[in-house]
Amino acid sequence: MIVSVNWLKKFTDIDVSIEELTELIGARLVEIESVEDLGEKYKDVIVVKVVECSPVPDSDHLNLTKIDDGGKVQNVERDENGLVQVVCGAPNVTAGMLAAWLPPESIVPETFADKEPFVLGARELRGFMSNGMLASAKELDLYDDHSGIVAVDKEAEPGTSFAELYELNDYLLDIENKSLTHRPDAFGIIGFAREVAGIQGKAFTTPAWLDTLNPEITSNSSVETPSVTIDEPELSDRFQAIVLSDVSESAQSPLEIQTYLSRSGIRPISAIVDVTNYMLLLAGRPLHAFDYDKLLAVNNDKIDIHVRSGREGETLALLSGKTIELSTDDIVVANGETAVSLAGAMGGAATEVDANTKRILVESATFNLYKLRAVQMRHGIFSESITRLTKGIPAPLGAPVLVEAAKMMGQFAGAVIASDITDAYPGKHTPIIVSLQEPIVNETLGTQFSAADIKELLENVEFDVAVNGTDITVTVPYWRNDIHITEDIIEEVGRLSGFDSINPVLPTRDFTAVRPSDFDLLRAKVRGLLVRAGANEVLTYNFIHGDVMRKAGQNPETAYRLTNSISPDLQYYRQSIVPSLLVNIHPNIKAGYDHFAIFELNKFHTKLTGLTEENVPKELDGLGFVVAASKKANKKSEGAAYYEAKRYLDYIATELGLEFAYEPLEADADYPVTQPFEPKRSARVWDTKTRERIGVIGEFKKSVQKAFKLSDNVAGFEISPVSLLKLTSALGTSYEPLSKYPGTDRDVSFQVASDVTYGQVYDAAKNALSHDSDSTLRITLTPLDIYEPESGETKNVTLRFTLGSYEKTLTGDEVNKIMADVTEKVTTATNGKVV
């Protein structure tokens, strides 16, 4: 919305600079997006009198004029009478008229904002010197009319500044509409001016015509008062109508009205339309004019207006030229059975006011704002009118605006009031009264206002306030339908006096420390571990394309689907983290990264896990990790990618004080999380001690590799940080005191059949050690080597046993005895031998 400062000044004093004013409005009313200095654009435009005017010889349209600028402009060629010669091509130029002159060296306002504004000069036309130009509305950037020059319609001495005469030495404030969503009253100049007065600490008085809620009119009663029925009261609070006759549709509104419209972004059209737009801007109240005779024609010469819902299969041709299909959720104005306008949004083409219009019916109505909001969306209509109506315009405003508009139409277009006003008014307004006490205001804001201060602030914007001691009774003016409760009044007091004048302090609190969330601490620790081990944390969208899910072997039917996503890429909630990582492997390899690991700690969702007690979907937390190398990185000699991922997972386990067990992933494992993983080269991960499930690790299915363009050198895991938290919170300290005595290493190679796993050998050794009941002994196990000869029938697993005691240095015999016992047990359990 554009707000003209000069227009505001007609209703309230503004005695601060434009900078201070915008600062004040920003801090106490609404966000201003930009300020335009209109005065700069019009500073050189001068009102002149055309003294002589005669055709230029040999030209079919040019006139040679002599103009009187009151001697105002310097450095311009004048004749002996002090007049300036200008050649003018406009058909309406005549001697004796007042016009707007752009002298040489001035900028044509139309080009003011251009990169290279057009600067006028003195130049010869058909052999005659022309100094500057007489300007059209288009050249003055008032509105798009280039058919003739602007005729100055006010009395003025030649030499008067055009900007001063038409109040164009103005500033235009571009207001951010969104921050006034709840303030329909501020969507009109008068309401805005009321606020500008209030925030300056000045009392505002609404103009008498607007404050008269039941204005008198004099009608010649040449037509019957239009019959209006609101079929369903919830559709409209109030619908008023009046008929005007003797309308001259060709009449134009005065230039001043036109300039106010155009500077507010509305194109002047004709006196009738201009008046409805002018009232819209001035009072924030839309009006609509129907051609009365056309209206009669659609219903057998009768006026029987109904406000009703649209009907199934009903259509309506709009002013815009578009024919819409109505929905039962639309509101229409109908005469008889025929819909004649989409209420609040746009009039119908069949009853459009045109050059032949003699009589008009003017509507002043409000409509259900919730329904209008849906109408806006359904039909894509975002006019100035509907924008205001969807804010909830108060019904009492209707009468004064309608009467004032009728008067203006009389002045500008000869309109005569031909009927009384119909007033269908099911939604009568009852004033809201809010009672509160002074202390609650100060206690909420942290201020020290007296009841009298509060009274003055509110009365400045025309609230009715009664004070009795600390009791304050506020009668809310009808235009403030956003104010209902004490807190609303507190806001008004804070806002009008300026929130920035409140002293910022800190609340008092005791010394109780807040414990950071254990889950956050755990995630921070895991994140830190992975970063230290060279991995890169990523964040990716929760929403993925159904194809990504299918490529990962997952079934989109178990995923939550968005119904209004902007793109198929964001169709579904992801059902695990790893697929989002797989999407990003190939692009990073293409970007030149041969070997890297990425991970994400985030949430995922699947319908499979059902709802919480609050009936919202259960949320699952995942840590997804993928390590990848390009084909050319040639990592074959370093073994399968699986083990690289496992190195990272074991590292997390060790650093958290845990130990994980790995068991082959069954082929039929059917969870979204496991689906991308190749069963033959993947494992389920468990906590060794508690058998708590941790997650899944492995390489990816061939189909997944193909779909995401992955090499064989890619593996990953997805685990549950919630399980990690559960396990780590149950852990005691894992510290073991140091022994004073040196330990001994013994390396043993066990040869076992190739189908015996490393885990079986290792677990057998661990079991054997745990059976040793001597608590003074300290024995640890470390893998050294896994060798498989080419025959592939056997493999050698070499483990290092580190033996020590807290009480003494173990002798060779003691160590031999322990080792003999252990190796015996391991070979028996694994059906192997020591080599």
Partner 1 sequence: MPSHDLDSVRLQLLERVKTSETPRDILRAPEFKDLYSAIGTLAPEEKGPYGKAVNELKQAIETAIEAREDELESSEIETLDVTAPWDVNSTQPEFLPTNEGSAHPLTTEMTNVIDIFTRMGFEAVESRQIDDDYHMFGSLNFPENHPARDGYDTFRTEEGFIPPAHTSTMQNRILKAGKDKLEAGGQIAAISYGRVFRNEDVDATHEHTFHQVEGVFVSKDATLGDMLGTLRSFFEVYYGQTLRIKTQPAYFPFVEPGLEFAIEKPAALGGKSGEWLEMLGCGMIHPNVLREAGIDPTKYRGFAWGGGVERLVMLKYGIEDLRHFESAKLNFLRKFA
Q: What is the DSSP letter of 674?
A: T
Minimal distance in Å, beta carbon 126 to partner 1?
A: 54
Among residues 263, 294, 308, 795, which is the contact residue for partner 1, using CB under 8 A? 795
User: Interface with partner 1 by CB under 8 A: which range of 108-116, 133-141, 530-538, 744-752?
Assistant: 530-538
- Nearest CA to 327 out of 371, 288, 283 is that of 371
Minimal distance in Å, beta carbon 342 to partner 1?
A: 19
Decide if residue 809 touches partner 1 (CB under 8 A).
Answer: no
Pick 66 or 605: Cβ nearer partner 1: 605
Minimal distance in Å, beta carbon 624 to partner 1?
A: 11
Contact pattern from residue 159 through residue 178 relative to partner 1, giving x for each residue in contact according to CB under 8 A and a dash for the rest: -------------------x
Decide if residue 702 touches partner 1 (CB under 8 A).
Answer: yes
- Nearest CA to 442 out of 510, 532, 502 is that of 502
Decide if residue 696 touches partner 1 (CB under 8 A).
Answer: no
CA distance 341 to 330: 11
Decide if residue 184 touches partner 1 (CB under 8 A).
Answer: no
Report 569-588 residues binding partner 1 (CB under 8 A): 570, 573, 580-581, 583-584, 587-588
Residue 580 CB neighbour total at 10 angstroms: 24
Contact 699, 706 (CB under 8 A): no
Tokens of 217: 């009119």
Residue 9 identity (one-letter amino acid): K
Contact 702, 714 (CB under 8 A): no
b/e per residue, 771-803, with b = 16+ CB within 10 A?
eeeeeebbbeeeeeeeeeeeeeebbbbbbebeb
Decide if residue 531 touches partner 1 (CB under 8 A).
Answer: yes
Classify burial at 514, counting beta carbons within 10 Å of its beta carbon; exposed 0-12, middle 13-18, buried 19 or more: exposed
Report 743-762 residues binding partner 1 (CB under 8 A): 757-760, 762
Contact 804, 778 (CB under 8 A): yes
Report 453-492 residues binding partner 1 (CB under 8 A): 485, 487-488, 490-491
CA distance 545 to 554: 12
- Nearest CA to 433 out of 392, 485, 490, 494 is that of 485
Minimal distance in Å, beta carbon 462 to partner 1?
A: 18
User: Interface with partner 1 by CB under 8 A: which range of 61-69, 102-110, 416-424, 437-445?
Assistant: 437-445
CA distance 797 to 793: 13
Pick 260 or 660: Cβ nearer partner 1: 660
Pick 136 or 447: Cβ nearer partner 1: 447
Q: What is the DSSP string of 524-542?
A: HHHHHHHHHTT-EE----S
Among residues 154, 532, 709, 771, which is the contact residue for partner 1, using CB under 8 A? 532
Pick 132 or 698: Cβ nearer partner 1: 698
Residue 653 CB neighbour total at 10 angstroms: 20
Report 373-412 residues binding partner 1 (CB under 8 A): 373-374, 390-391
Pick 316 or 522: Cβ nearer partner 1: 522
Q: What is the DSSP letter of 522?
A: H
CA distance 798 to 581: 36
User: Interface with partner 1 by CB under 8 A: which range of 426-434, 591-599, 766-774, 801-809?
Assistant: 591-599
Report 761-790 residues binding partner 1 (CB under 8 A): 762, 783, 786-788
Chain-centre distance for alpha carbon 122 = 51
Minimal distance in Å, beta carbon 586 to partner 1?
A: 11
Residues in CB range of 549: below 8 A, 6 or more apart: 555, 556, 559, 572, 574, 575, 579
Minimal distance in Å, beta carbon 88 to partner 1?
A: 48
Classify burial at 393, counting beta carbons within 10 Å of its beta carbon; exposed 0-12, middle 13-18, buried 19 or more: buried
Among residues 2, 24, 129, 369, which is the contact residue for partner 1, using CB under 8 A? 369
Among residues 460, 674, 682, 744, which is the contact residue for partner 1, using CB under 8 A? 682
User: Interface with partner 1 by CB under 8 A: which range of 155-163, 231-239, 359-367, 497-505?
Assistant: 497-505
The helix (run of H) or strand (run of E) holding residue 278 is helix 271-283
Among residues 198, 396, 400, 698, which is the contact residue for partner 1, using CB under 8 A? 698
Minimal distance in Å, beta carbon 671 to partner 1?
A: 18
Pick 488 or 692: Cβ nearer partner 1: 488
Residues in CB range of 502: below 8 A, 6 or more apart: 445, 446, 447, 494
CA distance 151 to 503: 56
Decide if residue 534 touches partner 1 (CB under 8 A).
Answer: yes
Among residues 54, 450, 536, 780, which is the contact residue for partner 1, using CB under 8 A? 536
Report 703-742 residues binding partner 1 (CB under 8 A): 703
24, 690, 702, 788 from 757: Cα distances, Å: 78, 22, 24, 12
Residues in CB range of 470: below 8 A, 6 or more apart: 437, 438, 439, 451
Minimal distance in Å, beta carbon 175 to partner 1?
A: 12
Contact pattern from residue 603 through residue 642 relative to partner 1, giving x for each residue in contact according to CB under 8 A and a dash for the rest: x-x--------xxxx-x-------x---------xxxx-x
Residue 399 identity (one-letter amino acid): A
Residue 384 CB neighbour total at 10 angstroms: 17
Among residues 61, 123, 322, 647, which is the contact residue for partner 1, using CB under 8 A? 647
Minimal distance in Å, beta carbon 383 to partner 1?
A: 16
Decide if residue 495 touches partner 1 (CB under 8 A).
Answer: yes
Report 3-32 residues binding partner 1 (CB under 8 A): 26-31
Minimal distance in Å, beta carbon 324 to partner 1?
A: 21
Pick 138 or 595: Cβ nearer partner 1: 595
CA distance 593 to 633: 10
User: Interface with partner 1 by CB under 8 A: which range of 155-163, 201-209, 405-413, 555-563?
Assistant: 555-563
- When computed from its CA atoms, the radius of gyration of the chain, rounded to whole angstroms, is 42
